[in-house]
Amino acid sequence: MKLVTSRLTIRHLRMVVAIVEEGNLVRAAKRLNMTQSAVTKALQEIEALTKARLFDRTNRGVVPTMFGDTLAEHARLVITQLAHAEEHLADLRDGTGGRVAIGTLLSASAELLPTAIARLRKERPKLVVKIVEGTNDVLIPALRAGELDMVVGRLSEQRDRLNVVQEVLMDDIACVVARRGHPLAERSELNLADLIGWEWILPPQETSLRRQIDIAFREEGLEPPSHAVDSVSLLTNRALLIDADYLGVFPAQVARREAAAGAIVILPVTLRATAMPMGITTRTNARLSPAAEVLVETLRRTAADLARHDV
């Protein structure tokens, strides 16, 4: 197999990825600026080289077999590494640029990440930063596929299963928030039992933070909110909080930033089960580009500064 795969070209790999992502030879051909017949012929060549059927042909298009999915997964990594090599060489030439793709969870998007990026771009004004916001169930697969250099935010509890490397930067805990003027906002003491009857906005069920919130309720002998709005959209959540009497749960950095703006208050109730380290997640055995390495160092310094201010 080694001799066979060594004859595959970057053109072949780009084609496999395009066919997998488009699910249709016509659309893949258009994306690659090729004719359909040329794509079909090249696919036959790839399958001959790999000695495996990579796609099943159906009336609706093509569906990758396990061989096709496996080759596409490796192809994405190879293509990404080549792009990184080009960026690395350019960065070595001028030392002020580079490109970094970052996945961010809500916990890091309010203060840690934007502060670090602003600092770094003063030193490297040509640095290009791509930010993708989401949850770990979306960001970690993108990281493993090479589409992201790192993920910044609350660290997943499933590190070993995900085959990633984590670096702790600082601690985080979630806060219960409401609009200024909410009936509960004037209370100096609250417990979770006081919050049961209200409408909630919570992270989606598949997130670690949601599981921790549920644990916090159950530790108090309470059932967690079952009909909450599931959302990680800060704009949507802020609007629901301000325009109605919803309660929400924000990571501490987000909650403090929103409270400082004046429209939202942090309620005096503690969700101890949500205490969790925040940090950087990277691919196992991945070599970061110089720009990504510098960003990691800037994140470390920024986290240390923020932690000192919280003391």
The mean per-residue pLDDT over the stretch 193-213 comes to 91
> What confidence category does residue 80 fall into, taking pLDDT thresholds of 50, 70 and 90?
confident
pLDDT of 116 higher than 60: yes
Structure token digits, residue 265: 């208050």
Residue closest to 82 by CA, chosen among 29, 146, 34, 127:
146
Cα–Cα dist 266/251, whole Å: 11
Per-residue tokens: 168: 């702790």
Say what the pLDDT of residue 269 is. Answer: 94
CB 185 within 8 A of CB 268: no
What would the 3-class secondary structure string for the chain be? CHHHHCCCCHHHHHHHHHHHHHCCHHHHHHHHCCCHHHHHHHHHHHHHHHCCCCEEEECCEEEECHHHHHHHHHHHHHHHHHHHHHHHHHHHHHCCCCEEEEEECHHHHCCHHHHHHHHHHHHCCCCEEEEEECCHHHHHHHHHCCCCCEEEEECCCCHHHHCEEEEEEEEECEEEEEECCCCCCCCCCCCHHHHCCCCEEECCCCCHHHHHHHHHHHHCCCCCCCCCEECCCHHHHHHHHHHCCCEEEEEHHHHHHHHHHCCEEEEEEECHHHCEEEEEEEECCCCCCHHHHHHHHHHHHHHHHHHHHHC
Identify which of 72-76, 227-231, 238-242, 305-309 has the greatest average pLDDT.
238-242
More confident residue, 95 or 138: 138
Which pLDDT belongs to residue 1? 40
**Residue 217's pLDDT is what?**
94
What are the pLDDT digits (tens) for 234-254?
A: 899 999 999 988 999 999 989
Q: Which carries the bigger pLDDT value, residue 238 or residue 146?
A: 238
Q: Which domains does the chain have, with CATH numbers?
A: 10-65 (1.10.10.10), 78-170+278-310 (3.40.190.10), 172-276 (3.40.190.290)
Res 93: pLDDT: 62
Confidence at residue 156, expressed as pLDDT on a 0 to 100 scale: 82
Average pLDDT, the chain: 88
Q: Of 175 and 289, which is predicted with more confidence? A: 175
Mind listing the pLDDT tens digit for each residue in 82-112? Answer: 877 776 676 666 656 678 999 999 889 889 9
Query: How many other β-carbons are positioned within 10 Å of the β-carbon of residue 217?
Result: 18
Over residues 206-211, the mean pLDDT reads 88
List pLDDT tens digits, range 269-278. 999 999 999 9
| 209 has a pLDDT exceeding 60 | yes
Residue 226 clears pLDDT 50, i.e. is over it = yes
Q: Which residue has the higher pLDDT, 227 or 178?
A: 178
pLDDT above 90 covers a percentage of the chain that reads: 50
- At 149, phi and psi to the nearest 5? -80, -30
Q: In this model, does residue 157 exceed pLDDT 80? A: no
Looking at residue 11, its amino acid is R
